A and B are shown apart, each in its own frame.
Chain A
Amino acid sequence: MDLELLRKTGAEVAARDDVKYLLGWKQGTYGYRVAPAFVENAAGAAELIFSPLCTANLATYLTLVEQLPVPRGEEPDTRKVALMVKGCDSRAVTQLLVEKGIERDEVVVIGCPCPGVVDPALLAEKYPETEEPAEMKWDGEDFLLIRNGEETKISRDELLAEKCRLCRYPNPVVSDEMLGEPVETWAPGEDKGVEEVEAKDVDSRLEYWMDQFDKCVRCYSCRNVCPLCYCQDCILDRLNPTWVNRSVNFSENTAFNIARAFHLAGRCIECGECERVCPANIPLGKINRKLARDVRDKYGFEPGVDPEAEPFQASYKPDDPEDFIL
């Protein structure tokens, strides 16, 4: 990725009168951290980066930023938000367009063709984090890690995030400006994680997920980080009616996780953020990907690709599968 082009484009966009701010990535304070950058003017664009460490899906901020009450006599700031997106992130933007979470003219999308990012947990495990901020680059087929001035070449297969291994949309599906040439797509790998669970018998599956959901601390990070979980008032927080009790136990944790996953059926764009942020390391991606795959294979539907699509959960086809009906 050409950083100069990125910062130049970023500066131009951030300087536009009709843009409130630009959302991009910047280096974090230590180790492999990457932080979201809210760039409000051209000068701010100098800190923008795009690297294999930029795993975060910034589309979340489009709906996460709270609409503060407008003081009397003032007008709401209706300027556009500019946003840097990878392929997967762009699908979140598209899905938000489908669901009217945002309007097309409210965003400026800067597309970053993405050769694949690293799995941050795996990276930290294999190459311990330093206090100093580290850098990472794409280097041909591989990753290049720069720690304490020392360069390490790491093969792509070693660190590539699972979501990227399975990625079918490395190039943004929606954008106003595209940074550089599209990357060549690769054949998505087999989803072994999902297949392994599917291969178990039903009791073993329950055991497997019992172990997983038992770990859940109900921090709701998975929900909060998800670009498509944007209800102001989530039903899983609500007391009347109470879908899920607040107590943290296997029963409520499971209900929470089922409800969360179901609400994303036909909506999840497989950016993997929920799994990345889970402090309990619950493989949430497996559930999401399982549903996404069923939606694709059985219903011929893929969310976040066509902004004109009918939402999956709000449409049907007369010949939807019904082999499960008595």
Chain B
Amino acid sequence: MSANYEPNIVAFLCNWCSYAGADLAGTSRVSYPANIQIIRVMCSGRVNPLYVMNALQQGADGVLVSGCHPGDCHYMEGNYYARRRLGMLKDLMEFVGVDPKRFHMSWVSASEGHKWKEVVEKTVEDARDAGPFEGFRRRQIDW
């Protein structure tokens, strides 16, 4: 691993809590690593667990999914479904040899700009620790 290796992180954020929380981090001028790219979805429940697999296959070194705290989901229960599905996915990925440091899930509310920063830092740090993902990376990625 080269000394200046920077992991590439893809994050899926729900529109109502975590995306708003990330916006708040911006409005509050909280600074965090630039390795993270956010894809906005309406609800963490929208995140098909296979997105995580797909992101790793397509060039991500780490993946983050973030939603509303339990009980706060804008759609009432989407985050509970996400928790169950992604918890299972994490078990599966670990079992087939994907470093658990490459996939994280978090609850970040619209008022937790600072928590968002911490979550990003932890995600990036862990992915950096795990090193560039070779695993089942696709050789040629195309969009």
Contact = CB atoms under 8 A, between A and B. Distances in A.
Whether A and B touch directly in their complex, counting CB atoms under 8 A apart, is answered as: yes
Interface of A: 197-198, 202-210, 213, 243, 245, 249-252, 254-255, 257-259, 261-262, 265-266, 287, 290-291, 294-295, 298-299, 312-318, 320-322, 324-326
Contact of A326 (B91, B105, B137): B105
A258 B119 CA distance: 26
Interface in B78-97: 80-81, 83-85, 87-97
B23 interface: no
Given A320-B83, A322-B83, A258 B88 contact: no
B112 to A, nearest CB: 12
Nearest to A326: B106
A313 B85 CA distance: 7
B80 A320 contact: yes
Given A251-B137, A313-B85, 15 more contacts: A203-B97, A204-B97, A205-B97, A251-B57, A252-B138, A255-B53, A255-B136, A262-B92, A266-B88, A287-B92, A290-B91, A291-B88, A291-B91, A318-B70, A322-B83
Interface of B: 49-50, 53-54, 57, 70, 77, 80-81, 83-85, 87-100, 104-107, 119, 122-123, 135-139
A261 B99 contact: no
The CB with the most chain B CB atoms within 10 A, among A204, A265, A317, is that of: A265
A289 to B, nearest CB: 10
Interface majority SS (helix, strand, loop, mixed), chain A: helix
A100 B90 CA distance: 28
B70 to A, nearest CB: 7
Contact of A287 (B53, B57, B96): B96
Contacts of B93: 258
B92 A255 contact: no
A325 B77 contact: no
Contact of B53 (A250, A259, A266, A295): A259
Contact of A262 (B50, B81, B104, B123): B50
A324 B88 contact: no
A296 B53 CA distance: 23
Nearest to A194: B95
A262 B105 CA distance: 18
